[in-house]
Structure 1
């Protein structure tokens, strides 16, 4: 399948990701391209880092080294019961207790991806041990469950009968949609299970798509695809991608255009890959290309959302153009989205 041509696609670059990393993990923040060590590390970003490095089919020595460090960080962050710390200071001291917030879900996403896709057998084995330990838990937060469910979906790619992953994925979809089978908030004007769009929204649709596909439930798959289609429609402005900003959009409320976050674009790209794989519909391939093009300059400001000099992704799209800081979340969003461009390269 092919997608509509846009700006020339570049290959994923791990230069800035390596700059943001040390022998412990991945620093969260940067001022422009310079690491801000005083802000320390967080499991959220290290887990995202493991997702993108483990996705590389033929990792360079640099990328393989990052995968090892990120896996080591996550196994160190995991408590005896399977929950995870989130924040580690530059002094290598944890600032919190293990918990089941978004970072737990993202840690399982990273571990599940490494267990399914890493080029190194020992990485796959170690990641699977940590994944199983965390997959026995459940979070009360729907987004944390969605991220964990995406890790479970990765495990099921390699082992469709894995009971721990299958149970977690099914529970994640239920957490997103709620107990009702009528989905009362999901009407033609607002086909979404929450009354507000916040962050990484497309991940919720993606986990429902994955649960429907892996669980052999065509109705659930249809619901997930409809959620994603609705999200695609409301994030389109004059034919280009214009994503939910940091302050979110509320049902029946105003829909501000800024500040748009790269994580929204990356989450949409990931979900559209899942939809394309589940349906074979070339329309989803075109949407992936729109996500790539957003970073390359086809956005509301008409400016690239990355720095060719550093390889870093800019932290947000403001009314005045890019926020030139290049932290871990935005750089990982840029790299993750470019990885999907291999589908038509």
Structure 2
């Protein structure tokens, strides 16, 4: 595993970013302007840029932070919600984005507002956007939106954030209890996308509230997800072409980079909560998925561009290099580097 970023190339990050934000898609290693931008991607790009600036405090990464948070500011409605899809002409294609988009924005803004490394004006802007957004947490319906919101609010120390975390954690825990049975320890009757954020958010709920129930649900659901996504010692995420319905077999493909990233972040949270290095070892195995320790034995990192391929298909690698892929790989690399000294 890479324990330092001496091989890291940021070419693709800057190639994918123009003066509006980060493009959503690429055709191979070339940005595809025809597909425009999403707030979803620019929120997670903000997290990536903050991590980059924390690690390498240079102006080019600081400029990325300003670019991506400005995109979020432009995307926020007066009621605090966020628009998501934007065309290349800088016109949003919808008035209201998805709940998942909202949750990812809270994640990005909470992370940014709490970073002592970023400029004060950026932190203040993140706090301003959060203040407008947080009341909308009361109306969230979808589990991943609640989970992302918990993750973002977990970076804050305000009473309002703690209250919302308590409320959202209780709702997710109740949902888990409704769907679980002796052989199914999950929050729904199907395992779909960005799954690890659900146990991750439960562990954060425990960390903030001290409620043991949330810790137990977080660790039990993480173990269940692990049983469904590890094969012969390597990480194999649930395929996006069919998912995993209760009582059925998991879809084999496509495997997507975001799943490895969020599984890494969840394992690291479990390690922080429990001190059990088993979780740290599992996080490292998930990171190796990018490097070729996967179902096809092929690296997903393009040494030419520094980008990350869009996933693993039944025929091999999807050689497109979109925003979500490079963001996921970059976040994973920067986070894992922090744990390299732990044996």
**With structure 2 as the length reference, what TM-score do the two structures score?**
0.93
Query: Hey, what does 2:155 align to over in structure 1?
Result: 154
Match of 2:239, SS? coil
1:166 aligns with 2:165: no
CA–CA separation in structure 1 for the residues paired with 2:294 and 2:333: 16
Q: Is the CA contact (8 Å cut-off) linking 1:291 and 1:337 kept in structure 2? A: no
Q: 1:287 aligns with which of 282, 291, 309?
A: 282
Query: Hey, what does 1:128 align to over in structure 2?
Result: 127
Query: Hey, what does 1:310 align to over in structure 2?
Result: 305
Match of 1:317, SS? strand
Query: Hey, what does 1:50 align to over in structure 2?
Result: 46
1:16 aligns with 2:17: no
Offset of 1:9 from its aligned partner? 4.5
Query: Hey, what does 1:112 align to over in structure 2?
Result: 110
CA–CA separation in structure 2 for the residues paired with 1:169 and 1:13: 37
Query: Hey, what does 2:79 align to over in structure 1?
Result: 81
Q: 1:269 aligns with which of 242, 264, 271?
A: 264
Offset of 1:123 from its aligned partner? 1.1
1:239 aligns with 2:240: no
Q: 1:256 aligns with which of 227, 230, 251?
A: 251
> Within 5 A, what are the aligned runs for 1:142-221?
142-155=143-156, 159=157, 162-178=158-174, 183-221=177-215
Match of 2:317, SS? strand
CA–CA separation in structure 1 for the residues paired with 2:17 and 2:164: 31
Q: Is the CA contact (8 Å cut-off) linking 1:136 and 1:164 kept in structure 2? A: no
**Please, which runs of 5 or more residues in structure 2 have no aligned partner?**
none
Q: Is the CA contact (8 Å cut-off) linking 1:13 and 1:335 kept in structure 2? A: no
Paired residues in the alignment total 332
Q: Is the CA contact (8 Å cut-off) linking 2:234 and 2:286 kept in structure 1? A: no
> Residue deviations 1:266-297, cap 9 Å, x none?
11011111111111110111011011100001
Q: 2:70 aligns with which of 65, 69, 72?
A: 72
Q: Is the CA contact (8 Å cut-off) linking 1:132 and 1:164 kept in structure 2? A: no
CA–CA separation in structure 1 for the residues paired with 2:225 and 2:58: 35
> Residue deviations 1:15-52, cap 9 Å, x none?
21111001111100000100000111100000010112
CA–CA separation in structure 2 for the residues paired with 1:108 and 1:63: 21
CA–CA separation in structure 2 for the residues paired with 1:165 and 1:23: 32
Moved more, 184-193 or 293-302: 184-193
CA RMSD of superposed structures (Å)? 1.6
CA–CA separation in structure 1 for the residues paired with 2:146 and 2:268: 20
CA–CA separation in structure 2 for the residues paired with 1:85 and 1:336: 24
Q: Is the CA contact (8 Å cut-off) linking 1:43 and 1:87 kept in structure 2? A: yes
